[in-house]
Amino acid sequence: MAVVSGSPSGFESSDGNMTVEGTSAADWNCFANGVAPGFAASGINTGTGTCSTALVPGNAVALHPDANNPANGEVTWKAGQKLDAPCPVLLSNGSVPNKDDFTGIASYNEQDSATPPNTFLYGAEIRDVANGNSSGNVELNQSAGTSACPINRTAGDRLLAFDFTVGGTLPAITGSTKRPSWRSSSPSSAST
């Protein structure tokens, strides 16, 4: 189990599984069994540890892109767009290879008691298969989307790029600042 230093809930964020092993700790399965919307409603083993009482279920989000859009296929970007387009267009009828198919996505955030507080952001994704190199991105946008512009990109937004190498099993994470173009910073390796 690997906990980020200072994590208020003791979130086991880099152990490569979804179950909690520590005492008064946290992992993704702590949100299952009816605790937070979008996570499995019942029958999930939380692990051998105990889930922290510091968890805030309202700060957890789970999405299942395939289940939310079954008739139309994958949600994909419209071809030909620039990476820094301020209002990119999504299509709901694309197709991607299984190695690029994210079937489950989750996020959780929490703050410690420092002044000003430090914010901890955790993310998880489940790929259909890990049988080839693949990439995924997470945008941390400052402006909320609207019905006319669901993804509203502005100056200073952040992009986290996840490149899965070694046959899709080893993630490398790169952070960038947005607009007028993404400026890349040094990648950091993460273990699964």
In the block, residue with structure tokens 């979804």: 18
Greatest CA separation for the chain: 50
> In which band, very low, low, confident or very high, does the pLDDT at 67 lie, cut at 50, 70 and 90?
low
The whole-number average pLDDT for the span 188-192 is 41
Query: Quick one: pLDDT at residue 185?
Result: 44
Please say if the pLDDT value at position 71 is more than 60.
Answer: no
Query: At residue 65, what is the residue type?
Result: P
pTM, two decimal places: 0.76
Residue pLDDT, tens place only, 19-58? 999 999 999 999 999 898 888 888 899 999 999 999 999 9
Query: Quick one: pLDDT at residue 55?
Result: 93
C-alpha distances in Å from residue 37, one per residue of 33, 34, 123? 10, 7, 16
What are the tokens at 140? 């941390």
